[in-house]
């Protein structure tokens, strides 16, 4: 009985997953056409960038259980490394993109070498320290980064012209949104495969109890380095897109408060799930836009949301959705 | 070969920066001691600790400028404001989350409080730095070529008195002994008839009062903006880690060290490099000596 039931349940889950990806791809395709105007195109692209940032942090925090307050540093490294390669050395966009991602991932792995010996609070402070140092370097290495003056006129990615197909020009904001959102969807797909593979189980085992995991022969140190590398690289990719999307870079875009914003998105959405941070990023990006009057209080809302969610609903939106679904299920069972 | 004149000027500059560093460092000690005391009894970090410093500073500023209070009384006001904030954060965050057994959730919740406080202060007080002038910053004494203000004498005197009082409290009073017992072993202390919840509350209130008070003394030295806390908290974290979390003597030593690093970096390198130097030291400590300058038996968290 149970043997027969198991594969069909898995098949059901796989097919509902496929439907989920399909719906997401459709939404990405349709949204910029429905919501016209540069205001919405900007918001949608910012959403996609924030989704990437939140996914990267969640892989480190939600799955490997390491509180990383340095996501803003990886974000900034991706942005500055790729931009400097393009503007100073004339490296083609996608080469610079790959270098930015790799550099951020490498920085994450170096930080993780500290994480190997440190847990919990110590790691949180070490990662915060990295974020402070990177921000200060961007601010003070003026000959390289132009410091607080910033770097201007960063070009968009080169147009893609394949014979027989329409030319895709990324100066068009819709095309750029498709690029960033498509990359975010691809990242989600890859991370989803990762966390449902034995690698995901290994990371969860380390998060739950590092000592027991080690007793099972898991090399916790190596896996933490892996998780930091992946999460930081995803943050670096977000940085590359940010630079080319905004066209301007200043160090203060990567101040440590950016790490807290990303943390809020992950926590409010629900850490340890992949879909949670996606909703968290979208909600916290759009909510302040919808509440225009709030103005200056945008970050007050973030802080309040972060604190209230930790106190009353530590599983975030995902937990809230499960509760609602359970309630509805009970109602449906009672109804007939 | 240097003439004796330049050597004397160099010596004066070094002495002057040493004084500045000790003044700044003793304030950092007051802030970092609070973090380390809370960590001692609760094994938790209050990320909003430095925002208590900022709000304490604003409370002192407005007490002086709106109500015409004296500067010394405003230090007392800041102390009370800090204590109230400490009580509030214990009631709303640390006490409810204590039994959930998560290491990271309380820290994340206080990050939320910090973000909230900074931005609430930003919309209330604006981003323009406040010039916090006290009657004592104008009184300058000159001793052997070096300058000190009455302000810096007040800072050092209050810091030393506070640290001495705290030390006496921990060493000689029943409450202080109970507090150290809770820090060593919360459960056993509970069996001895000590109420850990009460002592944790007391520790957070005392620590936060120190933070508020430090704010009233720091603001005239640094720049008072709603984000002043951010630069202080990163240094306070560096101090508690360099000194060893939960280690009072190590924290005092590390606080003075960071103050000195800051003043000498300003003099000989570049003020923009302060955080890089301090955090470079922090990362080195974490890599090679994560228990801090003065080793202790508490190693399970490292």
Per-residue pLDDT reduced to its tens digit, B65-89: 888 888 889 999 999 999 999 999 9
Do residues A79 and A100 touch, judged by C-beta distance below 8 A? yes
Interface test with A, best of B94, B119, B232, B266 (most A CBs within 10 A): B119
Q: Answer yes or no: is A87 within a domain.
A: yes
Say if CB A161 and CB A169 are below 8 A apart: no
Of the candidates A262, A259, A247, the residue with the CA atom closest to the CA atom of residue A42: A247
- Shared domain for A157 and A21, answered yes or no, is no
- Give the CATH fold of the B10-288 domain: ABC transporter involved in vitamin B12 uptake, BtuC (1.10.3470)
Predicted ipTM > 0.85: no
Look at B104 and A306 and tell me if their CB atoms are within 8 Å: no
Backbone angles phi, psi at B137, to 5 degrees: -75, -15
Residues A108, A170: one domain?
yes
Provide the pLDDT for residue A11: 64
* Residue A74 and residue A95 share a domain: yes
Counted residue by residue, chain B has a size of 302
Residues B117/A259, Cβ–Cβ less than 8 Å: no
Q: What is the chain B residue with the closest CA to A310? A: B109
Are A21 and A72 contained in the same domain?
no
- Could you give the CA distance from residue A11 to residue A17 in angstroms, rounded to a whole number? 10
* Burial environment of residue B174 by CB neighbours within 10 A (0 to 12, 13 to 18, 19 or more): exposed
What's the whole-model pTM score? 0.87
pLDDT at A5 over 70: no
Domain boundary among A253, A287, A305: A253
Domain final position from A234, A253, A272: A253
The residue in chain A having the minimum alpha-carbon distance to the alpha carbon of residue B109 is A307
Residue A4 has pLDDT above 70, yes or no: no
In A, what residues contact B, Cβ < 8 A? 67, 69, 114, 117-122, 124-126, 128-130, 132-133, 136-137, 139-140, 256-257, 260, 263-264, 267, 296-300, 302-308, 310-311, 314
Q: With beta carbons under 8 A apart, name residues in chain B contacting A297.
A: 119-120, 123
Closest listed residue to residue B42, CA positions, set B76, B3, B86, B81: B86
Number of structural domains found in chain A: 2
Q: For residue B51, which residues of chain A lie inside 8 Å, CB to CB?
A: none
- Residue A241 forms part of a structural domain: yes
CA separation for the pair A98, A115 (Å, rounded): 25
- What is the spatial distance between Cα B19 and Cα B256, in angstroms, rounded to a whole number? 11
Is B279 in Cβ contact with A129 (below 8 Å)?
yes
Residues 6+ positions from B16 with CB-CB distance below 8 Å: B145, B146, B147
Rounded to 5 degrees, what are φ and ψ at A168?
-100, 110
User: Is there a contact between B112 and A264 if contact means CB atoms under 8 Å apart?
Assistant: yes
- B140 strand-pairing partners: B149
Q: What is the pLDDT of residue A269?
A: 92
pLDDT bin (cut points 50, 70, 90) of residue A20 is confident
pLDDT over 50 at B302, yes or no: no
Residue B296 has pLDDT above 60, yes or no: no
In a domain, A295, yes or no: no
Report the DSSP pairing between strands B146-149 and B140-143: antiparallel
Q: Please judge whether A120 and B103 are an interchain contact, meaning their C-beta atoms are less than 8 angstroms apart.
A: yes
Work out the average pLDDT over A28-52.
86
In this structure, the answer to whether residues A26 and A112 fall within a common structural domain is no
Residues A176 and A69 both lie in one domain:
yes
Chain A nearest CA to B87, separation (Å)? 17
CA separation for the pair B32, B111 (Å, rounded) = 17
Cβ contact, residue pair A125, B97, below 8 Å: no
pLDDT at residue A146, as a whole number: 85
Nearest to A303 among B116, B230, B270 (CB): B116
Phi/psi region, residue A272 (left: phi>0; alpha: psi -120 to 50; beta: rest), is left
pLDDT at B212: 94
The owner of tokens 């430095």 is B50
Domain membership flag for residue A293? no
Residue B102: its chain A contacts at CB < 8 A? Answer: 314
Taking a C-beta distance cutoff of 8 angstroms, is the pair B149, B18 a contact?
no
Tens digits of residue pLDDT in A89-135: 988 889 999 999 999 999 999 988 876 676 678 888 888 888 988 99
Whether residues A42 and A182 fall in one domain: yes
Mutate to test the interface with B, among A69, A107, A132, A272 (most CBs of B within 10 A): A132
Contact B223/A at CB under 8 A? no
Q: What is the 3-state secondary structure (H, E, C) of A254-295?
A: HCHHHHHHHHHHHHHHCCCCCHHHHHHHHHHHHHHHHCHHHH
Domain ranges for chain B: 10-288
Query: The tokens of B113 are what?
Result: 């409080």
Considering the domain architecture, whether residues A1 and A39 belong to the same structural domain is answered as: no
Closest CA–CA distance from residue B104 to any residue of chain A (Å): 7
Considering the domain architecture, whether residues A8 and A69 belong to the same structural domain is answered as no
Q: Compute CA A122 distance to the chain's CA centroid, rounded to the nearest angstrom.
A: 23
Q: Which residues constitute the domain of residue A108?
A: 35-253
Checking if the pLDDT of B187 tops 80, the result is no
Q: Do B107 and A307 touch (CB under 8 A)?
A: no
Query: Are the beta carbons of A68 and A60 closer than 8 angstroms?
Result: yes
Domain identity same for A187 and A230: yes
> Which stretches of B173-227 are DSSP H helices?
174-184, 186-191, 196-218
Using the Cβ of B271 and the Cβ atoms of chain A, whether some distance falls under 8 Å is answered with: no
Task: Kindly state the average pLDDT of the residues A162-172.
Answer: 76
pLDDT in tens, A209-254: 888 888 888 888 888 889 999 999 999 999 999 999 988 899 988 9
Burial of A215 (0-12, 13-18, 19+ CB in 10 A): exposed
Residue B130 three-state SS: strand
Subunit contact A129:B237, Cβ cutoff 8 A: yes
**pLDDT at residue B196 above 70?**
yes
Q: A128 and A11 in one domain?
A: no
Whole-number pLDDT of residue B300:
45
Query: Residue A153's CB: how many other CB atoms inside 10 A?
Result: 7
Q: Out of B238, B279, B287, whose CB is closest to A114?
A: B287
Asked if residue A2 has pLDDT above 70, the reply is no
Q: What is the pLDDT of residue B89?
A: 93
Same structural domain for residues A132 and A17? no
Mean predicted confidence (pLDDT) in A12-30 = 81
């Amino acid at each position: 009985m149970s043997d027969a039931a198991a594969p069909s349940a898995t098949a059901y889950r796989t097919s509902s997953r496929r439907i989920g990806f399909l719906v997401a791809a459709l939404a990405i395709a349709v949204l910029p056409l429905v919501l016209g105007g540069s205001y919405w195109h900007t918001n949608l692209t910012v959403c996609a960038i924030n989704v990437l940032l939140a996914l990267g942090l969640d892989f480190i925090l939600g799955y490997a259980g390491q509180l990383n307050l340095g996501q803003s540093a990886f974000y900034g490294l991706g942005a500055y490394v790729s931009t400097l390669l393009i503007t100073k050395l004339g490296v083609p966009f996608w080469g610079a993109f790959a270098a930015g991602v790799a550099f951020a991932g490498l920085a994450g792995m170096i930080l993780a070498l500290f994480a190997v010996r440190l847990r919990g609070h110590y790691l949180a402070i070490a990662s915060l320290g990295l974020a402070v140092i990177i921000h200060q370097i961007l601010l003070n290495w003026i000959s390289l980064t132009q410091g607080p003056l910033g770097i201007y006129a960063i070009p968009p990615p080169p147009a893609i012209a394949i014979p027989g197909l329409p030319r895709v020009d990324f100066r068009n904001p819709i095309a750029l949104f498709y690029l960033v959102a498509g990359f975010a969807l691809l990242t989600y797909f890859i991370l989803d495969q990762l966390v449902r593979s034995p690698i995901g189980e290994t990371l969860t085992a380390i998060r739950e109890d590092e000592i027991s995991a080690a007793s099972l022969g898991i090399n916790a140190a190596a896996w933490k380095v892996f998780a930091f590398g992946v999460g930081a690289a995803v943050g670096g990719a977000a940085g590359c897109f940010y630079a080319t999307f905004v066209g301007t870079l200043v160090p203060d875009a990567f101040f440590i408060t950016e790490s807290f914003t990303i943390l809020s998105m992950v926590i409010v959405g629900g850490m340890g799930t992949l879909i949670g941070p996606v909703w968290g990023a979208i909600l916290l990006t759009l909510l302040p836009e919808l509440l225009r009057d709030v103005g200056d209080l945008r970050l007050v809302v973030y802080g309040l949301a972060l604190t209230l969610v930790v106190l009353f609903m530590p599983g975030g939106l995902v937990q809230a959705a499960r509760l609602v679904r359970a309630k509805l299920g009970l109602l449906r069972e009672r109804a007939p | 070969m240097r003439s004796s004149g330049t050597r004397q000027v160099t010596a004066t500059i070094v002495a002057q920066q040493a004084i500045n560093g000790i003044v700044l460092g003793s304030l950092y000690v007051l802030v970092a001691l609070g973090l380390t005391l809370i960590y001692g009894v609760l094994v938790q970090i209050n990320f909003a600790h430095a925002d208590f410093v900022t709000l304490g500073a604003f409370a002192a500023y407005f007490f002086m400028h709106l109500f015409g209070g004296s500067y010394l009384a405003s230090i007392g006001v800041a102390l009370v404001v800090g204590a109230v904030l400490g009580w509030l954060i214990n009631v709303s965050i640390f006490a409810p989350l204590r039994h959930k057994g998560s290491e990271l959730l309380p820290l994340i919740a206080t990050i939320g409080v910090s973000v909230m406080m900074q931005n609430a202060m930003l919309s209330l007080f604006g981003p323009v730095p406040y010039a916090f002038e006290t009657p004592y910053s104008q009184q300058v004494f000159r001793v052997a070529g070096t300058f000190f203000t009455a302000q810096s004498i007040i800072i050092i005197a209050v810091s030393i008195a506070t640290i001495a009082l705290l030390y006496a409290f921990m060493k000689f009073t029943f409450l202080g002994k109970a507090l150290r017992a809770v820090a060593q072993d919360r459960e056993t202390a509970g069996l001895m008839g000590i109420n850990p919840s009460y002592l944790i509350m007391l520790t957070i209130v005392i620590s936060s009062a120190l933070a508020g008070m430090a704010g009233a003394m720091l603001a005239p030295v640094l720049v008072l903006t709603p984000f002043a806390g951010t630069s202080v908290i990163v240094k306070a974290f560096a101090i508690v880690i360099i000194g060893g979390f939960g280690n009072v003597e190590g924290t005092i030593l590390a606080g003075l060290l960071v103050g000195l690093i800051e003043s000498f970096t300003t003099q000989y390198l570049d003020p923009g490099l302060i955080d890089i130097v301090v955090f470079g030291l922090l990362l080195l400590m974490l890599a090679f000596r994560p228990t801090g300058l003065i080793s202790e038996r508490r190693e399970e968290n490292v």
